[in-house]
């Protein structure tokens, strides 16, 4: 496999001979990450109760998202200089170590530590794969590749929650984590033939002077975790200060204008972040609310995760087949609009104490909005990138994804605790946070078209 798309043939799909090994390897890597996400989300209420650490429930989700930022920046710098091969290998090692620590954790703080290590690996993996897509595939195939990312969630979505519930019930929740290690090994074997072709000679370091960004990434990750830890313990002024630090740290990690939703690439990245924040508030709490409010079993509640995964993948395929008939900017606007309607519906279902099936249906609708619009953020980012900044922009897109989701979850954790203290409804607070992020997604998606240059 060559390292530049210019040497690729003009014809053929993502499973044609020149691309098949890469496509299969990428699919496997996304699939085992998907299984982990679905399985852990299903069992986390059980884990937190068993370890007596329900106060750290939100942090268990936010921690890997925050630490992923460090992995993303490191992988983006590495990939711009040397290609994505090395960061792919390191990401698999870190992910495996984190899973083992979580599965063997004697307490919730140790489990959260394992999730932090796992997040480092996940972040590096995501950016490495985005760079692989930009290096290997021509622009005409990139929407199909990103759609395959979503398709890789289908089987884990269908079977992950159910398998996790059965394994946790029969053998204990620890075996859900430990069993994922086998999937990591399998994916590594599938992707191994691809790795040698992804290496390329080191480039002039002056062209990619981004190693200095790693401290900013570490600061952003620590500040996000500080928001949740301080806020959930009543230290709201400290939480607000930590949130301000997050904003400061994000500025050098993203293209100029991202924090003010400047038109073009900055708003594409902002849209990705806002969509993630809104959706993952729902994903982290949908199983819990179905169990707590409507008495669903873990297996039955996990059905919502199953259906949303299938719907997300299906709508991703739809947008990929539409190709240029629907621009990336239009797809993002449609996706964010559907997402906003969905999270408002979820909030109303809880407020009105409507049947739990409606809450599940609202979450599924959110998945359809994500499926149609989320993949196009990657396509739009690559279209606005050059060979020199592809790694940085891929990193920025993934950082916006993780930091926004982690920050949203931290705010959910704070709101959940405060609502309980004030005898309010914690789930209304949680899904209210999701609405705020969904509104932000609608606003930023409206600014994704590139500014028109003066004649």
pLDDT in tens, 161-191: 888 888 888 888 898 888 888 877 777 777 6
The pTM of the full predicted model, rounded to 2 decimals, is 0.74
Q: Give me the mean pLDDT over the 156-161 stretch.
A: 76
83 Ramachandran zone, left/alpha/beta (phi>0; psi -120 to 50): left
* Residue percentage of the chain with pLDDT more than 90: 26
Q: What is the pLDDT of residue 200?
A: 55
Rounded to a whole number, what is the largest CA-CA distance in the chain? 68
Residues near 318 by beta carbon (within 8 Å), at least 6 away in sequence:
371, 372
How many Cα atoms within 13 Å fall on the side-chain side of residue 298?
21
**pLDDT value, residue 195:** 66
- The whole-angstrom separation of Cα 26 and Cα 214 is 26
- In the chain, what are the domain boundaries? 15-195+213-445
Quote the pLDDT of residue 392. Answer: 80
pLDDT: is 34 or 120 the higher one?
Answer: 120
210 or 76, higher pLDDT: 76
What are the residue ranges of helices labelled H in 251-385? 265-294, 298-301, 303-322, 328-351, 356-383
Given a contact cutoff of 8 angstroms between Cβ atoms, the answer to whether 219 and 249 are in contact is: yes
Look at phi and psi of residue 238 and say left if phi exceeds 0, alpha if psi is from -120 to 50, else beta: alpha
| Inter-residue contact 34 to 160 (CB < 8 Å) | yes
Q: Which carries the bigger pLDDT value, residue 307 or residue 4? A: 307
Of residues 172, 199, 188, the one with CA closest to residue 121: 188
Q: Does the pLDDT value for residue 91 go beyond 70?
A: yes
C-alpha to C-alpha distance for 419 and 347, rounded to whole angstroms: 15
Residues comprising the chain, all counted: 455
The residue ranges of DSSP E strands in 33-172, in sequence order, are none
Q: Per-residue confidence at 111, pLDDT binned at 50, 70, 90? A: very high
Residues contacting 211, CB < 8 A, separation 6+ = 77
The C-alpha torsion from 287 through 58 and 370 to 255, rounded to 10°, is -170
Q: What is the pLDDT of residue 455?
A: 42
Number of other residues whose CB lies within 10 A of the CB of residue 133: 26
Q: State both tokens at 32.
A: 């085992």
Q: Between these two residues, 250 and 4, which has the higher pLDDT value? A: 250
Under 8 Å between Cβ of 46 and 173: yes
Distance separating alpha carbons of residues 20 and 258, to the nearest angstrom: 35
Architecture of domain 15-195+213-445: Up-down Bundle (1.20)
CB atoms within 10 A of CB 193: 13
In terms of average pLDDT, the best of 33-47, 63-77, 383-397, 438-452 is 438-452
CA Rg value for the chain:
20
Closest by CA to 197, choosing from 417, 400, 3, 413, is 3
Q: What's the CA gap between 320 and 167, in Å, rounded? A: 35
Q: Quick one: pLDDT at residue 204?
A: 46
The predicted pLDDT at position 35 comes to 81
Long-range pairs of 353-362 with CB within 8 A, sequence gap ≥ 24: 353/293, 355/294, 356/290, 356/293, 356/294, 356/296, 359/286, 359/289, 359/290, 359/293, 359/294, 359/304, 360/286, 360/290, 360/303, 360/304, 360/307
For the ranges 184-188, 194-198, 418-422, 437-441, the lowest mean pLDDT is seen at 194-198
How far, CA to CA in Å, does 298 sit from each of 61, 166, 195, 344, 356? 17, 9, 39, 24, 14
Residue with tokens 């590749």: 145
DSSP secondary structure string, 202-271? PPPGGG---GGGHHHHHHHHHHHHHHHHHHHTT-HHHHHHHHHHHHHHHGGGS-TTGGGT-TTHHHHHHH
- For 223-245, what is the mean pLDDT? 84
Task: Determine contact, residues 15/27, Cβ cutoff 8 Å.
Answer: no
When pLDDT is cut at 50, 70 and 90, the band that residue 6 belongs to is very low
The 10s digit of each residue's pLDDT in 255-308 is 989 999 999 899 999 999 999 999 988 888 998 899 889 988 877 887 887 788
Quick one: tokens of 214? 């790693």
Q: Among the listed ranges 98-107, 310-319, 437-446, which one has the minimum average pLDDT value?
A: 310-319
Averaged pLDDT for residues 97-108: 91
Predicted pLDDT at 197: 61
Is the per-residue pLDDT at 454 higher than 80? no
Report the pLDDT value the prediction gives residue 201, as an integer from 0 to 100: 44
The pLDDT value given to residue 217:
85
What is the mean pLDDT of the segment spanning 316-342? 89
- Which element (helix H / strand E) includes 136? helix 108-136
Q: How far apart (Å, rounded) are the C-alpha atoms in residues 24 and 26?
A: 6
**What confidence score (pLDDT) does residue 265 get?**
92
Over the chain, what is the mean pLDDT? 83
Count of CB atoms situated within 10 Å of the CB of 9: 10
């Amino acid at each position: 496999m060559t390292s530049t798309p210019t040497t690729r043939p003009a014809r053929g799909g993502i499973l044609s001979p020149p691309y098949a090994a890469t496509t299969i390897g990428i699919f496997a890597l996304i699939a085992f990450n998907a299984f982990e996400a679905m399985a852990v989300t299903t069992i986390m209420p059980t884990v937190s109760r068993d370890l007596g650490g329900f106060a750290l429930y939100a942090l268990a989700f936010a921690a890997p998202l925050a630490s992923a930022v460090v992995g993303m920046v490191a992988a983006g710098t590495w990939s711009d200089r040397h290609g994505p091969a090395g960061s792919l290998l390191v990401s698999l090692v870190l992910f495996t170590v984190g899973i083992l620590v979580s599965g063997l954790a004697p307490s919730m703080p140790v489990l959260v530590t394992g999730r932090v290590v796992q997040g480092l690996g996940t972040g590096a993996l995501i950016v490495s794969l985005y760079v692989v897509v930009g290096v290997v595939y021509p622009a005409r195939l990139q929407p199909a590749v990103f759609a395959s990312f979503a398709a890789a969630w289908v089987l884990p979505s269908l079977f992950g929650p159910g398998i996790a519930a059965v394994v946790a019930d029969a053998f204990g929740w620890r075996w859900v984590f430990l069993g994922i290690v086998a999937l990591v090994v399998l994916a590594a074997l599938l992707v191994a033939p691809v790795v040698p072709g992804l290496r390329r000679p080191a480039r002039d370091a002056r062209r990619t002077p981004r190693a200095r960004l790693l401290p900013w990434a570490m600061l952003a990750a620590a500040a996000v975790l500080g928001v949740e830890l301080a806020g959930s313990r009543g230290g709201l002024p400290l939480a607000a200060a930590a949130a301000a630090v997050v904003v400061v740290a994000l500025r050098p990690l993203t293209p100029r204008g991202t924090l003010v939703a400047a038109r073009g690439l900055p708003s594409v990245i902002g849209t990705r972040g806002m969509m993630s924040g809104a959706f993952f508030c729902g994903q982290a709490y949908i199983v819990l609310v179905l169990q707590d409010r409507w008495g669903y079993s873990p297996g039955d509640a996990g059905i919502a995760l199953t259906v949303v995964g299938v719907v997300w993948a299906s709508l991703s395929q739809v947008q990929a087949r539409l190709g240029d008939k629907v621009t990336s900017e239009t797809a993002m606007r449609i996706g964010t609009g559907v997402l906003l309607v969905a999270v408002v519906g979820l909030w109303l279902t809880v407020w009105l104490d409507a049947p739990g099936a409606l809450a599940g249906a609202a979450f599924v609708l959110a998945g359809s909005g994500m499926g149609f619009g989320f993949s196009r953020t990657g396509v739009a980012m690559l279209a606005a990138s050059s060979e020199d900044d592809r790694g940085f922009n891929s990193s920025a897109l993934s950082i916006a994804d993780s930091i926004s989701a982690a920050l949203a979850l931290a705010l959910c954790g704070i709101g959940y605790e405060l609502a309980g203290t004030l005898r309010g409804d914690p789930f209304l607070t949680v899904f209210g946070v999701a609405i705020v992020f969904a509104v932000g997604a609608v606003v930023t998606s409206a600014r994704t078209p590139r500014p028109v240059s003066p004649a």
